Amino acid sequence: MQQPITGYHREEEGNWVAQLACGHNQHVRHEPPFTNRPWVVTPEGRQAWLGTELACKKCDLGAPPDG
């Protein structure tokens, strides 16, 4: 299910995590060549992606919101 990004935070290891409108969180790492998300490394890039929809696998599974 597609869900818009509503914000971000960093987890313990320093990786960026997108907060989705559904209440789930999803890592948005930039780890080339496997994951190419250069927008996540700057505040301007993250701001520009607010509202963009990501596929939420937790919604597909019917998982409760992250705590």
- Asked whether the whole model's pTM tops 0.85, one would answer yes
Distance of alpha carbon 28 from alpha carbon 37, whole angstroms? 7
Tally the residues of the chain. 67
Residue 58, pLDDT score = 97
Q: pLDDT of 3-33, one tens digit each?
A: 999 999 999 999 999 999 999 999 999 888 8
Please compute the mean of the pLDDT values over residues 21-48 and round it to a whole number.
94
Q: In what order do the strands lie in the sheet with 53-55?
A: 25-27, 16-20, 2-10, 53-55
Task: List all residues 6 or more positions away from 13 whose beta carbon is below 8 Å from its beta carbon.
Answer: none
